[in-house]
Amino acid sequence: MERFSLKGKTALITGGGSGIGKAIATTFAEYGASVHILEYDLNTANQTVKEIQEMGFTATAHRADVSNYNQILSLVEAIGVQNSIDLLINNAGIAHVGTAESTEEADFDRLYKVNVKGVFNCTKACIPFMKKAGRGTIINMASIAGSVGINDRFAYSMTKGAVLSMTYSIAKDYLEDNIRCNSISPARIHSPFVDGFIKKNYPGKEQEMFEKLSKTQPIGRMGTPEEIAALALYLCSDEAGFTTGTDYPIDGGFIKLNGK
């Protein structure tokens, strides 16, 4: 018996071109899922698909703007006509540094459109297909910033708090439809996303900030995308069939052990 098998399942993964999304797409493909990567940067999505196919597994890339509901709906319907939609990973997201004072309205709106509305758009588009199939699993990528205060992350924390609330509501509303919904809250994960974030916001201090941010995890390092992907694999497998409506921090002890 193969544990954590995703054979016969179709997975939609937003932001699957790099970092955590790429690791999830690769892991899911390795465990038998037919993977569809929904990505704003089609070049990175195509590269991920190429690597997955070279390993002998199945993946397809789609150019997608998660903040555009009509575009997402059309894409999901096109996929759903030919396949079941079994797994949705709402991973696409953007970051921002700033307090309530320093955050501009345009930045606030931009984060909301991607990090909050993007989750809503993809979930709304996929749920009818899951209801029709009588099953489905949704994973929302939240963050420890949605649960605890982090300096200079006002707008970003707002969006991740919303992701947590949406997770609980979705899980509650679709219990009778056999649709499970959980969230994952990583601390800092070493990925191109983090490298780009440090380069943009701390120019000339990249190495210093990398070491500083790494040490904010009590375990003494950043996590890896593959560690997040392993948790996502479990939550989407049949072995997690009793699990819904829960947030899973994967944070090197950040929430519970800081200051101890």
Catalytic center residues: 156
Six token digits for residue 250: 């994967």
Alpha carbon separation from 246 to 87, 131, 136, 188, 255 (Å, rounded): 17, 20, 16, 20, 16
> Which DSSP string do the residues of the chain spell out, in sequence order?
--TT--TT-EEEEETTTSHHHHHHHHHHHHTT-EEEEEESSHHHHHHHHHHHHHTT--EEEEE--TT-HHHHHHHHHHHHHHS---EEEE-------B-TTT--HHHHHHHIIIIIHHHHHHHHHHHHHHHHHT-EEEEEE--GGGTS--TTBHHHHHHHHHHHHHHHHHHHHTGGGTEEEEEEEE--B-SHHHHHHHHHHSTT-HHHHHHHHHTTSTTSS-B-HHHHHHHHHHHHSGGGTT--S-EEEESTTHHHHTT-
- Residue matched to tokens 């909050």: 116
Spatial distance between the Cα atoms of 2 and 120, rounded to a whole number of angstroms: 33
